[in-house]
Structure 1
Amino acid sequence: MATLTPPDAPGTRADAVDIVLVDDHAIVRQGLRSILERERDLTVVAEASTAAEALAVVDRVRPHIVLLDLKLSASSDVEGLDLCAELAQRDPDLGILVLTTFLDEQLVIRTIRAGAKGYVVKDVDTTGLIRAIRDVARGGSAFDPRSAAAMVRGLHAPPVEESHQLTPREREVVQLLARGLSNGEIGAQLYISETTAKFHVGNILRKLGVSRRAEAVYEATKQGLL
């Protein structure tokens, strides 16, 4: 359940960095809140456990930073990636900092392309996390050493066949494209926004090397993706 800190809560400051925590585990959010609110310039103004809650809360409180886990449900390891893209589409200036257990070269790159300003893994120490938040709040980017190394490896990795990089979500979208559904209808089927559905369709067209939805379906069929 989403929780909000009242605007006039004791300890808040006009010049504080306002943070929204997005993680499906309440104990993780409580721990992060306890750590971050020891810093005079950091204020946790809200929490959310699901993508839908996060979208509503961020729209309401307009934070400087969203501290986002990529795994927001048992059914998907990277549901937070869709949320990242949606938040960045709504507000390109929002400081989205991913804090997650997953460390994969291509996942780091995909997350940054989706609009995140930084990526740190959950074994980062307190000092590193706070530094990353402040760096993103100043308009910069932030990576812990492991994430930075993973991104460099991903950027220098030999190219692989694009179709092999279709995510499980993109494969779901391809199947719905084959049924002739619009972006809005795809969004309704997958419980995502039309904007996020459009984002996925664009990625699919790029990965399959086509420019039209019908061509994407044809190419996906040829490659055994349908």
Structure 2
Amino acid sequence: MGSLVPSPTEAAPDVVGIMLVDDHAIVRQGLRSILDREDDLAVVAEASTADEALTVLGRVQPRIVLLDLKLSTSSDTEGLELCEQLVERNPDLGILVLTTFLDEQLVMRAIRAGAKGYVVKDVDTSGLIRAIRDVARGGSAFDPRSAAAMVRGLHAPQPEESQQLTGREREVIALLARGFSNGQIGEQLYISETTAKFHVGNILRKLGVTRRAEAVYEATKLGLI
């Protein structure tokens, strides 16, 4: 299980504080060993799940979040939903997606969720460090394959937003159809009630409705449940 891992002292003003969010401890350990060798970078916290990351962010203030998209066995893109939540809480946070998944729609969804960069995990050390520094300076960072995917995504026809419910949101809307409350949804999906409420809000927004019953009706018409 991930945990809050603060530096012995808060990062100096000229040092970029980084939070690692990845469900594999060995990956976080490897990243920490690489990044802590750089004088201007410091890992100030770690988390292995979305809920942990949200809790950690309430205790520390990193400038960069290095975020994997797959944070559990139940979803390959849970990190995208977490990215939206992190940016909503702290718009100045620099989120750099570091993942094994790469396609046009994933890159575009990450950008729409608020990510400032996207690199795949086989990037070399110098490329990763350069990407972190670029995002820390307020820029964006994409490795060549991610940049190419982004260009393809920009030119591809975009589906209607209502068809872009994530896998997790489809699970939530199915439970809404059964009359579950936010708390019950959280228990069923092993997420917090706050996270369940966030997903419900996203579903209402995407379907253009204001009530849960209306969301179920629209989702049924669209064949989403």
TM-score (norm: length of structure 2) = 0.85
Aligned length in residues: 224
2:123 pairs with 1:124: yes
User: Would you say the 8 A contact 1:86–1:195 is kept in 2?
Assistant: no
Q: Sequence identity of aligned pairs in percent?
A: 79
Alignment correspondent of 2:34: 35
Instruction: Provide the C-alpha distance between the structure 1 equivalents of 2:161 and 2:7, rounded to a whole number of angstroms.
Output: 47
Alignment correspondent of 1:100: 99
2:109 pairs with 1:84: no
Deviation at 1:225, TM superposition (A): 2.4
2:121 pairs with 1:112: no
Deviation at 1:166, TM superposition (A): 2.7
Q: Which amino acid aligns with 1:2?
A: S
2:28 pairs with 1:63: no
Deviation at 1:44, TM superposition (A): 0.8
Task: Give the secondary structure class of the aligned counterpart of 1:119.
Answer: strand
Alignment correspondent of 2:141: 142
Q: Which amino acid aligns with 1:110?
A: R
CA change 1:155–1:195 in 2 (3 A) is: farther
Unaligned runs of 5+ in 2: none
CA change 1:70–1:59 in 2 (3 A) is: same
Structure 1, 85-94 or 169-178: larger mean CA deviation = 169-178
Q: Which amino acid aligns with 2:66?
A: L
Alignment correspondent of 2:173: 174
CA change 1:182–1:156 in 2 (3 A) is: farther
Structure 1, 144-153 or 164-173: larger mean CA deviation = 164-173
Deviation at 1:204, TM superposition (A): 3.6
Structure 1, 44-53 or 98-107: larger mean CA deviation = 44-53
Alignment correspondent of 1:4: 5
TM-score (norm: length of structure 1) = 0.85
User: Would you say the 8 A contact 2:20–2:66 is kept in 1?
Assistant: yes
Instruction: Provide the C-alpha distance between the structure 1 equivalents of 2:146 and 2:28, rounded to a whole number of angstroms.
Output: 22
CA change 1:202–1:104 in 2 (3 A) is: farther
Task: Give the secondary structure class of the aligned counterpart of 1:61.
Answer: coil
Q: Which amino acid aligns with 2:129?
A: I
Instruction: Provide the C-alpha distance between the structure 2 equivalents of 1:163 and 1:61, rounded to a whole number of angstroms.
Output: 35
Deviation at 1:218, TM superposition (A): 1.9
Task: Give the secondary structure class of the aligned counterpart of 1:67.
Answer: strand
Task: Give the secondary structure class of the aligned counterpart of 1:20.
Answer: strand
Deviation at 1:23, TM superposition (A): 0.9
User: Would you say the 8 A contact 1:82–1:196 is kept in 2?
Assistant: no
Residues 21-55 of structure 1 deviation map (CA, whole Å, 9 limit, x = unaligned)? 11111111111111111211001112121222222
Q: Which amino acid aligns with 1:99?
A: L
Residues 154-212 of structure 1 deviation map (CA, whole Å, 9 limit, x = unaligned)? 12112345555332112112223324556676556545566655554455456546565
Instruction: Provide the C-alpha distance between the structure 2 equivalents of 1:107 and 1:207, rounded to a whole number of angstroms.
Output: 18
CA change 1:89–1:159 in 2 (3 A) is: closer
Instruction: Provide the C-alpha distance between the structure 1 equivalents of 2:12 and 2:203, rounded to a whole number of angstroms.
Output: 44
User: Would you say the 8 A contact 2:36–2:42 is kept in 1?
Assistant: yes
